[in-house]
Amino acid sequence: MAEGETAKSGKLAIVLVRGVVGVAQSVKDTLSLLRLNKKNYCVVIENNPVHIGMIKKAKDYITWGEIDNETYNALVEKRGEEFQARLTDRKEKYSYKSLEINGKKYKPYFRLNPPRKGFGRKGIKVAFKVGGALGYRAEKINDLINRML
Q: Residue 69: its pLDDT value, please? A: 87
* Cα angle, residue 2 at apex, residues 9 and 74 outer, rounded to 5°: 40
DSSP tag of 126:
S
Number of domains in the chain: 1
14 forms beta bridges with 43, 64
> 50 in helix, strand or coil?
helix
Give the domain range for residue 88. Answer: 3-148
Cut 0.85: pTM above it? no
Please identify every stretch of the chain with a pLDDT value under 70, giving residue numbers as ranges: 1-9, 94-96, 98, 103
Q: Report CA torsion sign: 149, 102, 62, 3.
A: positive
According to the model, what pLDDT value does residue 53 have?
92
pLDDT of 15 reads 92
Write the pLDDT tens digit of every residue in 59-102: 899 999 998 888 888 888 887 777 777 777 777 776 667 677 77
The CATH number of the domain holding residue 44 is 3.30.1390.20
**C-alpha to C-alpha distance for 146 and 72, rounded to whole angstroms:** 10
